[in-house]
């Protein structure tokens, strides 16, 4: 596998792919295009499908199914495109997001 960014690499023992810079942006574009700018996160077997643009207010996020911090790879198979609400609710649950929404009056 060839990378554009010299910091990107594949770990030889596990095969885990770690992408940086241009390579990570290229992965985001592939996942974004696959999702057609719609949230791919599932709730009770149904995709959210909320519009999640590339940039601007309410932009979408690259979501790792298995988090990078837990050994997840930067690969198409391990990534979804998600709206910010679903990403935070499903993959980063906790009081920190509830407090932020209360402070902004959006809860």
Inside any domain, residue 18:
yes
pLDDT above 80: residue 60? yes
Give me the mean pLDDT over the 25-50 stretch: 95
Asked whether the beta carbons of 52 and 24 are under 8 A apart, the reply is no
pTM beyond 0.85: no
Q: What is the pLDDT of residue 91?
A: 79
Give me the mean pLDDT over the 49-67 stretch: 92
Q: Cα 101 to the chain's mean position, in Å?
A: 21
Inside any domain, residue 60:
yes
Going by the DSSP 8-state scheme, the letter that residue 81 receives in this structure is E
Inside any domain, residue 1:
no
Q: What is the pLDDT of residue 92?
A: 75
Inside any domain, residue 99:
yes
Lowest mean pLDDT among 8-12, 54-58, 62-66, 97-101: 97-101
Distance between CA 83 and CA 37 in Å, rounded?
9
DSSP 49-79: --B--SSSTT--EEEESS-GGGT--SSGGGE
> In the chain, how many domains are there?
1
Inside any domain, residue 2:
no
Choose among 70, 90, 56: nearest CA to 16.
70
pLDDT above 60: residue 59? yes
What is the residue range of 19's domain?
9-104
């Amino acid at each position: 596998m060839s990378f554009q960014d010299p910091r990107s690499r594949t770990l030889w023992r596990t095969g885990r792919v770690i992408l940086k810079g241009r390579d990570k942006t290229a992965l985001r574009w592939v996942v974004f295009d696959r999702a057609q700018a719609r949230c791919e996160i599932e709730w009770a077997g149904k995709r959210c499908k909320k519009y999640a643009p590339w940039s601007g207010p309410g932009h979408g996020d690259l979501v790792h199914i298995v988090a990078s911090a837990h050994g997840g790879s930067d690969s198409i198979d391990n990534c979804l495109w998600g709206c910010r609400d679903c990403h935070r609710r499903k993959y980063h649950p906790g009081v920190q997001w509830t407090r932020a929404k209360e402070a902004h009056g959006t809860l």
